[in-house]
Amino acid sequence: MKISVIVSTYNAERWLEKVLIGYSNQTYKDFELIIADDGSRPSTKELIDRYAANYPVPVRHLWHEDKGYRRQEILNIAIIEAANEYIIMTDGDCVPRKDFIEVHAKLAEKGRFLSGGYCKLTMKTSEALTEDDILSGRCFDANWLKKIDKLGFSQRLKLSSGPVLGAVLDTVTPTNPSFNNCNSSGYREDMIAINGYDERMKYGGPDREFGERLENHGVKGKQIRHKAVCLHLDHARGYKTPESLAANLAIRKEVKEKKINWTPYGIVKEAGVTVE
């Protein structure tokens, strides 16, 4: 299976570089890496170009002008631009373990999307990670991470479970297999069938709404939170506002109640539709 990995980013070169290192070290090689850039400064492009010049897989940088939070717009462009049949969605602050893409490829299934999670790190640990820590894999060792700073129980469980226990935990977990942009995947044709992301939505649940429309379309979630492992680097969330959260919840409520599977505010804009 040929895969397109879409990584969203915005003005976070220190974290994006660690992510680029992680994807350079994957056991599964048949993929392209697309950086969906929501208007970052020139230094982000310089970083990507530097890595792309000698990267083990094709790297593409998709950018649009910074006009505020428009991540869903650049993600929709990335879905259309993706060259391959299967897409992994992730973020520029999520460092993948070396088997990350391999797990998604093995578990991909028609009529399903894969729902992963992440191991959240503190700022101290996030800043401490080096290139060698990522390439050697030591940063995915719970005991090693605990020596730097605190690590929650659920994070330790994800890192330490292994394939057999991971399968059991993914079966019994009460967590809903929702679409999480940090670590989820599905078939490109299904994403296009629901018209991509709703571009009205700001921070706070646009990926969940995307998954809810996939489910209304008949594509159900499949839990892989203890199998596909990535580390979430800490950062501030200045774009998170009560207004954006409330507006997003209203959209999600309508999607659930009316079982909507298509947004007129997505890849294709219906006549008369504008996105503020």
**What digits encode the pLDDT tens for the residues 188-201?**
999 999 999 999 99
Confidence of residue 242 (pLDDT cuts 50, 70, 90): confident
Is residue 2 pLDDT above 80, yes or no?
Answer: yes
**What digits encode the pLDDT tens for the residues 121-178?**
999 999 999 999 999 999 999 999 999 999 999 999 999 988 889 899 999 998 999 9
**What digits encode the pLDDT tens for the residues 163-176?**
889 899 999 998 99
Sequence-separated (6 or more) residues with CB below 8 Å from residue 142: 151, 155, 156, 159, 160
Give the pLDDT of residue 10.
Answer: 96
Give the pLDDT of residue 21.
Answer: 98
Q: Calculate mean pLDDT across residues 28-49.
A: 98
The three state secondary structure string of the chain is: CCEEEEEEECCCHHHHHHHHHHHCCCCCCCEEEEEEECCCCHHHHHHHHHHHCCCCCCEEEEECCCCCCCHHHHHHHHHHHCCCCEEEEEECCEEECCCHHHHHHHHCCCCEEEECCCEECCHHHHHHCCHHHHHHCHHHCHHHHHHHCCCCHHHHHHHHCHHHHHHHHHHHCCCCCCCCCCEEEEEHHHHHHCCCCCCCCCCCCHHHHHHHHHHHCCCEEEECCCCCCEEECCCCCCCCCHHHHHHHHHHHHHHHHHCCCCCCECCCECCCCCCC
Q: Are the beta carbons of 48 and 61 closer than 8 angstroms?
A: yes
Mean pLDDT of the chain: 95
Is residue 117 pLDDT above 80, yes or no?
Answer: yes
